[in-house]
Every structure is written in C-alpha cells, then in structure tokens.
Amino acid sequence: FSIHQPSMKMLSLFDKIMLMAETRCVYFGTLDDSIPFFKGQGFPLPDRVNPADYYMSVLSSGTLDSRLALSEKMESAFKSGAEKDSTDIPLGKLEKDPSNAT
C-alpha cells in the first residue's frame, strides 16, 4: 500500500521508502540513505523538517517541464547508484516473497 506524505512518526516505522515523481521511481531505500542521496542531488534536508514534507516539496514544485527534468535526473542518479543505496531487490520482486522480508 502507499502513504502520501506521512508524519515523521509513521515514516520512521518503514524499513524502506519509495519516492515517485512524474511516474518515475526516483528513490527506493532506507530513510537514512535518502538524506545523503537528496543532498548529493543538490537538495540537503533542512534542520527540523519532516523528510516526507521536504521530498514532496522538492519533487512537486515548479513547472511541468522542470518537474519532468528533475524526475528524469533523479531517476538516472538513483539507477546509477550516485549515492549509497540499499536497492539490492529488483523492483519486480517487491511483492510478498519471504526471501525479501525486512
């Protein structure tokens, strides 16, 4: 299931998060690893800000053209492993598979 812009308390309960923008998966991994990933893309997380709120703001601001360009750039960085990530599970195997339990 999905949760749109969860509270920090709810967000901290997840082992991994998936962030999508303009139909692209721009990040999949741990919340802790998302912070250096976004920083590496030029979006450092401000102090005392809920990461979900900040990521939604980053990924949904601007014109359609700028959002498409940003989502393409971030998807490319995510896929190429520009930052340390924990995406060793192919996206197609995310369904209930006991070997992928976290």
Q: What is the pLDDT of residues 19-78, one digit of tens each?
A: 999 888 999 999 999 999 999 999 999 999 999 899 989 998 889 998 999 999 999 888
* Separation of alpha carbons 44 and 38, rounded Å: 6
Is pTM, for the whole model, over 0.85? no
pLDDT band at 92 (very low <50, low <70, confident <90, very high): very low
Q: Which two tokens stand for residue 96?
A: 């209930």
In 12-86, alpha helices (H): 31-40, 51-60, 64-80
Bridge partners for 25 per DSSP: 20
